[in-house]
Structure 1
């Protein structure tokens, strides 16, 4: 074989190696190089189901889920990525870098955001609230308990910041907010004092006050005083409160679908989902001598009220 033939074969061999290397690089590209990237610290069945549902809903987009521990720092993600964070560790990771991509944060409550951010919301981050909006909860009360006027509200050091907003929403509805600090959940005296001065108790989504350890005392006291508890969330209704508004996975997917149809620059800084449902506890209604909540009808009336200017 001549020198020229050997050179030609060597050149072809190098081309093949380079081509093979390029293919390998493409096949092993980082899993986070996506248009829409969902992440969470825990890679559970619920998270996977949500990611798959969003991907089915948006077949034109490249939607993937990558566990948080497999991601680089936010600023090293592709510039065109749109992030969706599904838990609080994801938000903590995103906050480490001001240069990260536009980000939607799900499953975060007003209280959790206040603890982490105060009033300083970083740029390019939008918070989609997980707790029921206070005005919607108050209007739920007027819809199912029209005679109630004094709204008892237990609060703690972490949830006190919500009281001015509650009063603002209550005034046009002719409701009076009766606040009661409960900084020691082992002491039932504040609870009893509040029950004596209220027509209904509205639960704030404060896990220091409403949790498995306090549920028995709260609910038994509510039954003993024949005083309904509304909220703080759908889970507590199952435990024994009367009713609450809530948004489920389908509602959140509808919100995301609408937002993702628009450029990130137009995303709101904070948002409650406009889609929601009502859940009631028939057994609790019977035990309190209250008419059972018509979940579908009440939700429709609340939604209609929110559409009006």
Structure 2
């Protein structure tokens, strides 16, 4: 009993210590998770802010569970940087006058959290989203798979809002979208098979109903058996069997988010969504060989950069 009370006391003390530090901080980094990607983003932002002159004592790092909702006792915090969707949700419950920079979440997640919080995107709320711009993705398809003309796309309830923009980007490059709306996970594989019958390549668009840890293995197996390559949005999917992926690293996202935080600290907060300024390309060489394709990540990166698609 005493041991249990002691543990609870230590946990409470840790939370209070973190919150006390937040009260004295200028920038509060709020993490949805403490796994590698989240902590790397946080380290990068901290390093970039310190390099620009902010003292280490002015930056605090908190788990989203440590952030108290609508606490009026944090006047020193000038900028909240939320890392992940859950942290963004918690940060939006704070004083609406405090600048917010969101990072490490998809565009659809950013829009959903804003809507659920019943808060419009004010002039002091900005984000660096995970999504690569459609024009860059389509250009990569053209470079990597020049013979592909029909692009399969599965849209879910969150990602369907971007269907028109993607269709326009594909049409601008002479490509045709073979799309299907997946209303729920039960309809996923019927929709996938229908799309693969018409498509030369499958472009993955982030949506929790379509692409998740419980669905990706079967999606990759089905596309591979059909002989259809996938352009993914995560290097983890390439390791699991996608042909290639276009993505930004946690370090790249952190550098860009730090820039937005600096702007806010200087009194000129940005607003709205920024796509990643930088990118990486990953290629599964085994899958490429099995499909008779010669694709090199370094060459593709150089060509994509020279194509002028880097915003």
Alignment of 1:79-98 (within 5 A): 79=76, 81-98=78-95
Measure, in 2, the Cα distance between the counterparts of 1:70 and 1:216. 35
Residue in 2 that maps onto 1:34: 25
Alignment of 1:128-207 (within 5 A): 128-183=128-183, 185-186=185-186, 188-207=189-208
- Match of 2:101, SS? strand
Measure, in 2, the Cα distance between the counterparts of 1:111 and 1:299. 26
Residue in 2 that maps onto 1:211: 212
Which digits, 9 at most, give the CA deviation of each residue in 1:13-54, with x for residues without a partner? xxxxxxxxxxxxxx9992012222211244456544543343
Structure 2 unmatched runs, 5+:
1-16
In structure 2, the CA distance between the partners of 1:41 and 1:108, relative to structure 1 (3 Å rule), is closer
Structure 1 unmatched runs, 5+:
1-26
Which piece of structure 1 moves more, 238-247 or 156-165? 156-165
- Structure 1 segments of 4+ aligned residues over 6 angstroms from their partners: none
Residue in 1 that maps onto 2:221: 220
Give the C-alpha shift of residue 308 in structure 1.
Answer: 7.9
In structure 2, the CA distance between the partners of 1:51 and 1:192, relative to structure 1 (3 Å rule), is closer
Q: Does 1:276 align with 2:273?
A: no
Give the C-alpha shift of residue 65 in structure 1.
Answer: 1.0
- Match of 1:132, SS? coil
Measure, in 2, the Cα distance between the counterparts of 1:204 and 1:186. 18
Residue in 2 that maps onto 1:64: 60
Q: Which has the higher contact order (CA 8 A, sep 6+)?
A: 2
Q: TM-score, normalised by structure 1?
A: 0.80
Q: TM-score, normalised by structure 2?
A: 0.80
Structure with max Cα Rg: 1
**Given that residues 36 and 61 in structure 1 are in contact (C-alpha distance below 8 angstroms), is that contact kept between their aligned partners in structure 2?**
no
**Given that residues 75 and 100 in structure 1 are in contact (C-alpha distance below 8 angstroms), is that contact kept between their aligned partners in structure 2?**
no
Which digits, 9 at most, give the CA deviation of each residue in 1:243-276, with x for residues without a partner? 1111112212321343344335342411012111
How many residues are treated as equivalent by the alignment? 282
**Given that residues 243 and 278 in structure 1 are in contact (C-alpha distance below 8 angstroms), is that contact kept between their aligned partners in structure 2?**
yes
Which piece of structure 1 moves more, 32-41 or 268-277? 32-41
In structure 2, the CA distance between the partners of 1:91 and 1:143, relative to structure 1 (3 Å rule), is same
Which piece of structure 1 moves more, 28-37 or 189-198? 28-37
Measure, in 2, the Cα distance between the counterparts of 1:74 and 1:275. 36
Measure, in 2, the Cα distance between the counterparts of 1:135 and 1:161. 16
**Given that residues 277 and 310 in structure 2 are in contact (C-alpha distance below 8 angstroms), is that contact kept between their aligned partners in structure 1?**
no
In structure 2, the CA distance between the partners of 1:74 and 1:237, relative to structure 1 (3 Å rule), is farther
